[in-house]
Amino acid sequence: MKNVIESNHPLIEHKLSILRDKNTSTKEFRELVKEISMILCYEAMRDAKLDEIQIETPIKKMKTHRLNEDHYAFIPILRAGLGMLDGVISVLPTAKVGHIGMYRDETTYEPINYFFKVPDGIENREVFLLDPMLATGGSAIDAIDLLKKKGVEKIKFLCIISAPEGLKQVNKAYPDVPIYTACIDEKLNENKYIVPGLGDAGDRIFGTK
């Protein structure tokens, strides 16, 4: 699939093996989501543009390059996307943060939007959309649609586990949006959960089940 980047980093594979384990504690699960999100953020920023600046080291003046963090914004899809926020914020501490609130209708499996708050000037920023799980792709498509309506042109979607079905749907709807995923799993089951997956990411992050 075009514009789908699956990480093949050994550290991610190692951390995923612990993350998927049903016996992993809430505390450790949160820490692993944060760590994997950091690595995904590094991957997603390989094409970042740097400004040339001049600094002075303890030895001499020199020209170097620096990122303008004001050009970026992180938008977690609530609630599970919040688990990824600490990881990416540790990479770009001054980036702005917005929130998109969605939940899945348990009968139709369709996403329902209940909250949308983004920073001023969002249309001038590169937005990293965060959600640990990309299952059917419905939430991702709706979130991208909301951002596009706000005038955002550059969006990257970061997820930890993805299903081929969801990737295809998002890719079809928005081929211009790169998707960075730690792992592409086998499929969705009859309840639209990713197989083998890791269960409900939100419940495991917040310890609600």
Catalytic residues: 104, 108, 200, 203
Query: In angstroms, what CA-CA distances link 64 with 52, 55, 61, 93, 141?
Result: 6, 7, 10, 20, 39
Closest by CA to 73, choosing from 117, 134, 30, is 117
Residue 156, Cβ density class (10 Å: 0-12 exposed, 13-18 middle, ≥19 buried) = buried
Within 8 A by CB and 6+ apart from 12, the residues are 36, 39, 182, 183
